[in-house]
Amino acid sequence: MTRLLNQLRSKVIVYWSMTKSMQTGLLVVTGLAGYISSRCPIMHIERLLVVAGSLFLAVSGSTVLNMWYDRDIDAKMKRTCFRALPSGKISQHEGLILGLVLSSIGVGWAVWIDPLFGAVVFAGLFFDVIVYTVWLKRRTAWSIVWGGISGGMPVLAGRVLGTGRIEWVGVLLMVAVLLWIPSHILTTNMRYFDDYRRVRIPTFPSVYGIAATHKIIAISSAGAAISVGIVAVGVGITSGCMYLLAALTGALLLMTTTALLKPSESINFGVFKYASVYMLSAMLLLAVGVF
């Protein structure tokens, strides 16, 4: 019995690692922020848990499917060779089944909650797995745009669920996440430049150069900050939250500008880490600031 429990525990740990829980959790928070920012009258904890659960399963499922498809290149990259599939901790068949099950339950649950909400969640999964990973990732550096669109779908879905329609706030929130993505992905591309070049994945640093990549990060970060700022004014967050958001935005722009003018590996990694802190904090402020 003890041996069986240990085996089950080990399996759960491996499965959990494949969901990229930190990244998935951040996207779930954006979805909840989009929902709460609508001041939806249905705001009890059970409803929030249902929304969070469906988003977590759908996003986790797409992440696992991406790992399953990219298992060949992950095996050749120092950053990813120890992941569950390339290291042999689980079989290819098991990884595929896990991804399909999580995705199906997540999307099905979302459709049950609300058809339009479910349609947006499904669109995010489709753009992430089919358009970004399967079709474009190995062909063009511009695949990041479609990856960014998929990353913006949870916050759009949350807003759609709260308002019952697709409106400008939800779309602008999606754009904010899309424009935030370069500060997260392109910094990774630069940090692991040799890894990506080894497996022949086109990235902005390899195609357009490091200097151009820093410019793109700075410009897109400014665009993300402007988008979030417009939304903050549009939904009417409190003045205190607005001041905090302004301070967080200033820090992001300062870091990306410094990386542009005085590039270094340490500053680049700092932008990568802070970008997630910024997006998490901005979404929480949009959620709590409307009350």
What length does the chain have? 291
| Token pair listed for 133 | 């990973």
Per-residue pLDDT of the chain (291 residues; tens, 9 = 90+): 777 777 788 899 999 999 999 999 999 999 999 999 997 665 678 889 999 999 999 999 999 999 999 999 999 999 999 999 999 999 999 999 999 999 999 999 999 999 999 999 999 999 999 999 999 999 999 999 999 999 999 999 999 999 999 999 999 999 999 999 999 999 999 999 999 999 999 999 999 999 999 999 999 999 999 999 999 999 999 999 999 999 999 999 999 999 999 999 899 999 999 999 999 999 999 999 998
Please count the CA atoms within 13 angstroms of the CA of 279 that sit on its side-chain side. 33
Domain boundaries 7-288, corresponding CATH code? 1.10.357.140
| Token pair listed for 253 | 């722009």
Tell me the three state secondary structure of residue 86.
Answer: coil
State the amino acid at position 52 in one-letter form: A
| pLDDT at residue 211 in the model | 94
Q: Alpha helices, DSSP H only, in 192-262?
A: 193-198, 204-208, 210-235, 239-261
Question: Is residue 168 within 8 Å of residue 105, measured between CB atoms?
Answer: no
| pLDDT at residue 8 in the model | 85
| pLDDT at residue 42 in the model | 57
Using CA atoms, how far apart are residues 109 and 152, in angstroms rounded to an integer? 19
| pLDDT at residue 43 in the model | 63
| pLDDT at residue 44 in the model | 77
80-88, long-range: CB within 8 Å, 24+ apart, which pairs?
A: 80/195, 83/17, 83/18, 84/14, 84/15, 84/17, 84/18, 85/18
Using CA atoms, how far apart are residues 69 and 76, in angstroms rounded to an integer? 14
113 Cβ contact list (under 8 Å, min separation 6): 50, 51, 54, 161
Domain map (residue ranges) of the chain: 7-288
How much is the pTM? Answer: 0.96
Q: Which one, of 37, 18, 59, lies nearest residue 153 by Cα?
A: 59
